[in-house]
Amino acid sequence: MNYDSYEAIKAKRNGRILTLTMSRPGTLNAVDAVLHEELSRIFYDVNADHDVDVVILTGEGNAFCAGGDLQWLNDMHGDPSAFALTVWEGKRLVNGLLDLEKPIIARLPGHAIGLGCTIALYCDIIYAAEEAKLGDPHVAVGLVAGDGGAVIWPQLIGYARAKEYLMTGDTLSAAKAAEIGLINHAVPADQLDDAVNAMAERLAGGAINAIKWTKASVNAGLKQAANAVLDTAFNFEAMSQMTQDHKIATEAFLNKEKPKFTGK
């Protein structure tokens, strides 16, 4: 499998371990149209790559992923066809992660926000640098947390905590995230690579078919939950994308101002 066609994702092999790096320098790896489309198909390519047993997913520099690029979101406002494509890609992204039998480790060198946080939480084992922040502030830009956050947060930390974080958009530290079970491990930044690589090597050196099929068995239930929620969540997100509040929020953040919501 050759990954040279990908523009915003870098692929590097180390034996049977493949590291995928989201790479949008200067934007904290925020997701734009190009990266979103590539994320919607790369996990299917990885699943078909017979030279890979374990995947590490990370972000370039000091961030994992800052979520949706605000200029991209602002440009899509009021355009049903553009958002319909985004919804279709979003479902493929989530299902691509859930259908990937090979274990995938998320390496968070820094913040994972919005869609970036969702992507990390769908990985199998999540390591974060202690100073990293995690959160899903869709509501802060007038959007429903419909890209998978409404599925995965309740599964990991329960409905009460999930609703509080999703409805407020509050972030939490990596240490707190590990404490409540949102992620697996928060480690000092200078120990992150050693921890991630040790786990990747351990999995790659294990009974890989048993490991893959165990993951697939666990994900079978998660896929049922996702399929029950995603259509509703994405449809509500599409509706919220058409609101004035969403336009107000994206323009305010682009202008480095505080949004003044109208409820419309």
List the beta strands (DSSP E) in the chain.
9-14, 17-22, 54-59, 104-108, 112-113, 125-129, 133-135, 171-173, 185-187
What's the CA gap between 1 and 233, in Å, rounded? 34
Place of tokens 């929620």: 229
The pLDDT tens digits for 135-194 are 999 999 899 998 899 999 999 999 999 999 999 999 999 999 999 999 999 999 999 999
Question: CATH code for 9-191+200-204?
Answer: 3.90.226.10
Nearest to 120, CA basis, from 140, 137, 131, 136: 136
Average pLDDT of 77-96?
A: 88
Q: Is 239 helix (H, G, I), strand (E, B) or coil?
A: helix
Query: Side-chain half-sphere of 30: how many Cα atoms within 13 Å?
Result: 10
* pLDDT of amino acid 104: 98
The pLDDT tens digits for 217-242 are 999 999 999 989 988 998 888 888 88
And the tokens for 105?
């480790």
* pLDDT of amino acid 131: 95
pLDDT of residue 258 exceeding 80, the answer is yes
**Greater confidence, 252 or 38?**
38
